[in-house]
A and B are shown apart, each in its own frame.
Chain A
Amino acid sequence: MPASVVERAASSPDILKIIGLTTEFRGRQTRIRANDDIHLSIRRGSTLGVVGESGSGKSVLCRSILRLLPPSANAYFKGAVEYEGRDLLGLDEAEMRRLRGTELRMIFQNPMTSLNPVWPIGDQITEGLRVFGGLSSRRAHDRGIEMLGRVGIPSPERRFDEYPFQWSGGMLQRAVIAMAMAGSPKLLFADEPTTALDVTIQDQILALLLELQERSGMTLVLVSHDLAVVAETCDRIAVMYAGRIVETAPTKSIFRSPRHPYTVGLLNSIPHLSKGASRLVPIPGQPPDLASLGPGCPFAPRCSYASADCSTSAIRLSEAGPDHLSACLHPERIEGVAA
């Protein structure tokens, strides 16, 4: 790994530093690197967007950090995930649990299934407060109603005792957010929090997340396959492809001058209302099979800028501009987004 990246990661005021994280799923014959040598720092109080298509390793990254992969995945880790100076991968399960209960949170794509169908919603929101916050049930009840009000549930006193089947998807995602925010976490992973919701609700939920983040000063990691979503909300963007981070930079920089062909491809696939009914430019080909990756750039077979070196030499994230990292051998060849 390039020394420069590691050194910077070690000296910045970051809440989370991921240093060379590799997550490998081992089957009987196959070894799948769902995350390969991830380097990423997340600044305190910032919003990081992680984008990439399905199967690019976004969710695995979140779950590796929180150590929430199911035992059946048979995951092996390499590298380090430093959270406030502690390596999360080295913590024992009890410490990890305490950390999840108090400081690290994650919310999922589908709010309909994220809540226990047989528990009243209010009790689910306040359970963490009762277990980890040591609140009495009456104080937790009051706090739960306050939380529901804060995430925009009308008449929370009456709604507190209702069950998930009585609520709509948008309301449930609000409840899930309230549940994640109860106990004031420092770092929240939102794994496609709006994908299962319709477009008008998406905006409301994103606005709510940002508002809560601003008020509490927590750090937000927003995972999405939708560039539009992260463009509106994030300070920085990390683009993932085939289990690797291929480009990371401030949002503006990514959109103005992408320095990785895959990012260019993604940007070209966004329809623009202002440009009229022009054809979108798709990325040719299919994402690679993670079980049989070659030594070179995983994007090379689909890349119009690729040279012969691309598929043979190992490619690392390196400086491609101010505060802008790209894992491309020929960033200078990239012309930018098609007009």
Chain B
Amino acid sequence: MAIAESTARLSLPGRIGRELSVWSLSLKVGTAIFLAIILAGLFAPLLTPYDPYYQDYNSILLPPSWAHPFGTDMNGRDILARVLFGTRIDMLVSFIITFVPMTYGVFIGAATGYLGGKLDTVLMRILDIAIAFPFLVLIIVIIAILGPGVHNIYIAVFLVGWTMYARLARAEMLVERGKDYILAAQVLGFGRGRIMFGHALPNIINSSIVFAMSDFVLNILLLSGLSFLGLGVAPPEPEWGAMIAESKDYMRQAWWVTTMPALAIVLTGTALSLIGDGLAQRLGQNRRSLM
């Protein structure tokens, strides 16, 4: 809003050029790979002639070739097609389970950090309890209760995933709320909501954004891991973790069936890590990572 208006003087290409010029190499490379992956997912039907669900029993476990660049699996499906279509599921689900909890986690943390008092104490004890359990165990328990499936993954992660963001935002807010400009905003008589979210939030959001990049990687691994365990995406769907899980018995005869989807996971993880590092530098934050 206000910020966008004021920088509008510089033409759009000019602004993008100026922004790009301060990007580090890792941010540029990471963003390029990530965009390529997103585009590959979006344009999957154009990039491969094969149907990811079509089982061709005349071409079972074929090694990589020009016809099947990633080879075929034990049901004769083209692995490239499945990896490409899998991008859609993995990216979408991971995106949602990263940024939805981030949004309300940051808001909750910022609010309790600013307001303090009993609300803050109670929330922090709840967070202590949630964080005391290993994340994955908690998710698996919730999914075990609700049953497997993408929807229940959403529910489970929404219940647990916001806690780190709330922690981060609260800690940053505790520092920020003592600063003079917050006092100056109070002097000007602005309401709490305006000060918390209009003035302080833009100053505390950086660390959460940087952390979200690590979290995104973890969530891709989480989704793949849950699907591997049979708690996530159900088998016929092309999901990277599920693909690894269902083909693991054929690994010794046909290395490509597990390697190709695994490479997709590695590539995505690398891209996001590069972005995370680059963003940390760009935003002047120390890398905050769980990995």
| B146 on the A face (CB < 8 A) | no
- Residue of B178, B180, B187 contacting most chain A CB atoms (<10 Å): B187
Q: Out of A110, A119, A128, which one reaches B188, CB within 8 Å? A: A128
Which stretch (B77-85, B125-133, B189-197) binds chain A? B189-197
Give the distance in Å from the alpha carbon of A119 to the alpha carbon of B198 in the complex.
10
| B69 on the A face (CB < 8 A) | no
Collect the chain B residues with CB atoms within 8 Å of residue A123's CB: 2-3, 6
Collect the chain B residues with CB atoms within 8 Å of residue A118's CB: 3, 202-203
Collect the chain A residues with CB atoms within 8 Å of residue B9's CB: 161
Collect the chain B residues with CB atoms within 8 Å of residue A179's CB: 184, 188
B6 to A115, Cβ gap below 8 A?
A: no
| B116 on the A face (CB < 8 A) | yes
User: Known interface pairs A71-B117, A120-B6, A161-B7. Does A115 touch B181 (Cβ–Cβ under 8 Å)?
Assistant: yes
Collect the chain A residues with CB atoms within 8 Å of residue B179's CB: 113
Q: Out of B6, B7, B183, which one reaches A68, CB within 8 Å? A: B183
A128 to B189, Cβ gap below 8 A?
A: yes
**Shortest distance in angstroms between B170's beta carbon and chain A's nearest beta carbon?**
15
| B289 on the A face (CB < 8 A) | no
| A114 on the B face (CB < 8 A) | yes
Instruction: Give the number of residues in B that approach A within 8 Å (Cβ atoms).
Output: 25
Collect the chain B residues with CB atoms within 8 Å of residue A176's CB: 184
Q: Mark B4-20, 1 if CB is under 8 A from A, else 0.
A: 01110100000000000
Collect the chain A residues with CB atoms within 8 Å of residue B185's CB: 116
Scan residues 95-143 of chain A and give those whose CB is less than 8 A from a CB of chain B: 97-102, 105-108, 110, 113-120, 122-123, 127-128, 131-132, 137
Instruction: Give the number of residues in A that approach B within 8 Å (Cβ atoms).
Output: 36
**Shortest distance in angstroms between B166's beta carbon and chain A's nearest beta carbon?**
20
B191 to A114, Cβ gap below 8 A?
A: no
- Residue of B117, B189, B203 contacting most chain A CB atoms (<10 Å): B189
B190 to A127, Cβ gap below 8 A?
A: yes
Collect the chain B residues with CB atoms within 8 Å of residue A98's CB: 189
| A72 on the B face (CB < 8 A) | yes
A102 to B178, Cβ gap below 8 A?
A: no
| A70 on the B face (CB < 8 A) | yes
| B186 on the A face (CB < 8 A) | yes
Give the distance in Å from the alpha carbon of A97 to the alpha carbon of B191 in the complex.
7
Collect the chain B residues with CB atoms within 8 Å of residue A137's CB: 2, 5
| A66 on the B face (CB < 8 A) | yes
Q: Mark B156-182, 1 if CB is under 8 A from A, else 0.
A: 000000000000000000000011110
A161 to B181, Cβ gap below 8 A?
A: no
| B288 on the A face (CB < 8 A) | no
12 A-B Cβ contacts within 8 A?
A68-B183, A71-B117, A98-B189, A105-B187, A110-B180, A116-B202, A120-B2, A120-B3, A122-B6, A123-B3, A127-B190, A161-B9
Q: Which residues from chain A sit less than 8 Å from chain B, CB to CB?
A: 66, 68, 70-72, 97-102, 105-108, 110, 113-120, 122-123, 127-128, 131-132, 137, 160-161, 176, 179-180
- In the A-B complex, the 8 residue pairs with the smallest Cβ-Cβ separation, listed nearest first, are A101-B189, A100-B189, A161-B6, A113-B180, A118-B202, A97-B189, A114-B180, A116-B181
Supplied contacts A101-B190, A123-B3, A128-B188, 15 more A-B pairs, CB within 8 Å: A72-B116, A97-B189, A101-B188, A115-B181, A116-B199, A116-B202, A116-B203, A118-B203, A119-B2, A119-B3, A119-B199, A119-B202, A120-B3, A127-B190, A161-B9
